[in-house]
Chains A and B, each alone.
Chain A
Amino acid sequence: MSKRVLDINELHTHFFTDKGEIPAVDGVSLNVSEGEIVGVVGESGSGKSVTSLSVMQLIPNPPGKIVSGEIMFKGRDLVQTSLKQMKKIRGNEIAMIFQEPMTSLNPLFTIGNQLIEAIRIHNKMGKGEARQKAVELLEQVGIPRANDIVDEYPHQLSGGMRQRVMIAMAMSCRPDLLIADEPTTALDVTIQAQILDLMRQLNRDLNMAILLITHDLGVIAEICDRVVVMYAGQVVEEGTTREILKDPQQPYTKGLIRSLPDMKAKNQKLYSIPGTVPKPKVDMVGCRFAPRCEYAFDRCFAESPPLYHIGDNRTSRCFLNERDQREVASHDETVIKG
Chain B
Amino acid sequence: MTIEEKDHKDQRLAPQQQLLEDEDIEVVSPFRDAVRQLRKNRMAVAGFSVIVFFILLGIFGPLFTPYTYDGQVLTNRLLPPSAENWLGTDDVGRDLFTRVAYGARISLMVGFFAVTGALFFGTILGVISGYYGRWIDMLISRIFDILLAFPSILLAIAIVAILGPSLQNALIAIAIINIPIFGRLVRSKVISLREEEFVMAARAQGMKNGRIVMHHILPNSLAPIIVQATLGFGTAILEAAALGFLGLGAKAPKPEWGKMLADSRDFIQLAPWTLIVPGLSIMLVVLGFNLIGDGLRDALDPKMKN
Contacts and interface: CB of A to CB of B under 8 A. Distances in A.
- Could you say which of B20, B134, B200, B204 has the most chain A C-beta atoms within 10 Å of its C-beta? B204
B203 A98 contact: no
Contacts of A117: 207, 215
Interface in B179-229: 196-198, 200-208, 215-216, 219-220
B3 interface: no
Given A104-B201, A166-B201, A152 B27 contact: yes
A23 interface: no
B27 A169 contact: no
Contact of A108 (B200, B201, B220): B220
Interface string B3-14: 000000000000
A118 B197 contact: no
B209 to A, nearest CB: 9
A103 to B, nearest CB: 4
Contacts of A109: 215, 219
Nearest to A172: B205
Contacts of B20: 145
Contacts of B197: 98-100, 103-104
B206 A106 contact: no
B66 interface: no
Contacts of B203: 56, 58, 90
B205 A118 contact: yes
Interface string A85-125: 01111111001111110011111111000000110011000
B206 A91 contact: yes
A301 interface: no
Interface string A176-208: 000000000000000000000000000000000
- Could you say which of B196, B197, B215 has the most chain A C-beta atoms within 10 Å of its C-beta? B197
A121 B212 CA distance: 12
A58 B196 CA distance: 14
Nearest to B25: A156
Contacts, number: 74
A107 B203 CA distance: 16
A95 B204 contact: yes
Contact of A153 (B27, B200, B219): B27
B151 interface: no
Given A98-B197, A117-B215, A107 B206 contact: no
A148 B25 CA distance: 11
B16 to A, nearest CB: 11
A214 B134 CA distance: 33
Given A108-B30, A152-B27, A156-B27, A121 B206 contact: yes
Nearest to B198: A106
A247 interface: no
B30 A153 contact: yes
A324 interface: no
Contact of B216 (A62, A98, A106, A148): A106
Contact of A58 (B24, B27, B204, B219): B204
A151 B196 contact: no
A158 to B, nearest CB: 11
Contact of A92 (B27, B196, B206, B219): B206
Interface in B82-133: none
B241 to A, nearest CB: 37
Contact of B207 (A91, A97, A156): A91
Interface string A65-92: 0000000000000000000001111111
B18 to A, nearest CB: 15
Nearest to A94: B204
Interface in B1-55: 20, 24-25, 27, 29-30
Nearest to A101: B197
A92 B204 CA distance: 9
Contacts of A86: 206
B206 A89 contact: yes
Contacts of A99: 197
- Could you say which of B202, B207, B215 has the most chain A C-beta atoms within 10 Å of its C-beta? B202
- Could you say which of B20, B27, B205 has the most chain A C-beta atoms within 10 Å of its C-beta? B205
Interface string B252-296: 000000000000000000000000000000000000000000000
Given A103-B198, A104-B197, A87 B206 contact: yes
Contacts of A100: 197
A108 B208 contact: no
Nearest to A153: B27
A56 B204 contact: yes
A110 B215 CA distance: 12
B205 A107 contact: no
The 10 closest A-B pairs by CB, nearest first: A91-B205, A90-B206, A91-B206, A96-B204, A103-B197, A87-B206, A104-B197, A104-B201, A106-B198, A108-B219
Interface of A: 56, 58, 62, 86-92, 95-100, 103-110, 117-118, 121-122, 145, 148, 151-153, 156, 166, 169
15 contacts: A56-B204, A62-B134, A86-B206, A87-B206, A90-B203, A90-B206, A91-B205, A95-B205, A99-B197, A103-B196, A106-B220, A107-B30, A108-B219, A121-B206, A121-B207
Interface of B: 20, 24-25, 27, 29-30, 134, 196-198, 200-208, 215-216, 219-220
